[in-house]
Structures are given as structure tokens and as C-alpha cells.
A and B are shown apart, each in its own frame.
Chain A
Amino acid sequence: QMTLKESGPTLVKPTQTLTLTCTLSAFSISTSGVGVGWIRQPPGKALEWLALIYWDDDKRYSPSLKSRLTITKDTSKNQVVLTMTNMDPVDTATYYCAHSIWLGVLGYFDYWGQGTLVTVSS
């Protein structure tokens, strides 16, 4: 059974950089066709896609947040890392990582982590 688990700080200060790690189990980010994405959800609000990385290191970003985001993969640890710069209280949200498959286009997300709540406050 594929699983994903997010880890990182629960509290960051405004202007700081957030770094989140997604650890993958029962599948490899190195396998052809595999992708891992990040999606966030502010409390009581809708889902928002942030970024996606594929096995071949193809990276895609939300246009509205592209300047603040970097997604990378560590194949030796089977992890995907998201960094978001210049954090603001409006970035307070539950951050999810999720498994996807390259379909010739960006894909849907069939396995999700449990999510991690990140609060931005001084």
C-alpha cells in the first residue's frame, strides 16, 4: 500500500522560509511515470495546488506562487521536499503531499498523506 507522510515545522514566523518533507513508502520517486505533488488547504477553505515533481525531475508550479516555491527530490532517501519563501499568516494551512502519475499531462492524485498543519505567526 502506497503511503506518504509529511513532516516539518508546525509554526513559522512571518518572512521565514518553510521547508516540508514528504517521505514515500511502497513506491519510488525514481520509477518512470511517478509524480509527487503538494497541495494546501487553509482552515475552512478549498484545496490549492502548489507544485509537482516527476521521476525525470520535471517540475511544475502554481503560476500564482511560482516565485516563492521550490520542489526537489532526494532519490536516495525517497523523499520530496517543498520550500516556500517569505511566509505570511495567509499561508497558514494544512499542507498535503500526494502521489500522481504522468499521463502526458499533469495528473490526478490517488494517494495522499495525512497532511501537516503549518501556522504562520509571530
Chain B
Amino acid sequence: EIVLTQSPGTLSLSPGERATLSCRASQSVSSSYLAWYQQKPGQAPRLLIYGASSRATGIPDRFSGSGSGTDFTLTISRLEPEDFALYYCQQYGSPLAFGQGTKLEIK
């Protein structure tokens, strides 16, 4: 089973800054089968990125994903107030697995 480790656990930044979130896999993720989700308090997760770098429908272009193999990154180019939330990565080989999450908080 692939284990996903996200870092940092908490990231404190200000609006307008650039955010870089990491997701590291214990084994290589086949064909970049990696997704990123955003979750706000009391809400279901929202798909941001799939295939490591493809934005889901309606996702602003300030969100971008990159990486391959065992190292993946979600970048938010300029933080908006609504971007402060929890972020999870997920690999969709078998079995599915989620990372433990990164909390992006306002500094």
C-alpha cells in the first residue's frame, strides 16, 4: 500500500503570498494518478487537481499541481482569503489513499 505524507502540517501565510504544499508517496505513484482536494470547515472536500497537474472544472488558474513518481506539489500562486482551508492529496492506484492533510492558515 502506498502511504502519502503531506508537509508541512500547518502553513501560515498572508493573502497575496505564494503557497507550496508537498505530498510525498512511499512508493512511486503510477502515471501521476494523484489528486488534490480543498476542504473548508463543515463542507465536503472539493476536487482541485487530478492527474497531478490538471485543474478540475471551475478551479482558478492560481492553483497548479506538479510532480511525478513520489514527490508532488500543489502551488497557490497568490493566496486569496477564501484559499485558507485544509488540503489533501490522494493517490488513485489500488488501494486508494489520502494524505493526512495540510492546514493553510492566515498569518
Contact = CB atoms under 8 A, between A and B. Distances in A.
Interface of A: 37, 39, 46-49, 52, 60-63, 96, 98, 103, 105-110, 112-115
> Which residue among B30, B93, B94 has the maximum number of chain A CB atoms within 10 Å of its CB?
B94
A108 B47 contact: yes
Contacts of B33: 103, 105
> Which residue among A108, A112, A115 has the maximum number of chain B CB atoms within 10 Å of its CB?
A108
A98 B46 CA distance: 11
Interface residues on B, range: 20 to 34
Contacts of B50: 108, 110
Interface string B35-49: 101000000111100
A114 B44 contact: yes
Contacts, number: 65
B96 A46 contact: no
A53 to B, nearest CB: 13
B100 interface: yes
Interface of B: 1, 30-31, 33, 35, 37, 44-47, 50, 56-57, 88, 90, 92-101
A106 B44 contact: no
Given A46-B101, A47-B98, A63-B1, A112 B93 contact: no
Contacts of B90: 47, 49, 108-109
9 contacts: A37-B96, A46-B88, A46-B101, A63-B1, A105-B31, A107-B92, A108-B35, A109-B45, A110-B50
Contacts of B97: 49
A37 to B, nearest CB: 8
Can you list the 7 inter-chain pairs with the closest CB atoms, starting with the nearest?
A108-B35, A112-B44, A49-B96, A47-B98, A46-B100, A108-B50, A110-B47
A47 B88 contact: yes
B85 to A, nearest CB: 13
Nearest to A51: B96
Nearest to A4: B44
A110 B94 contact: no
Contacts of B56: 110
A86 B95 CA distance: 23
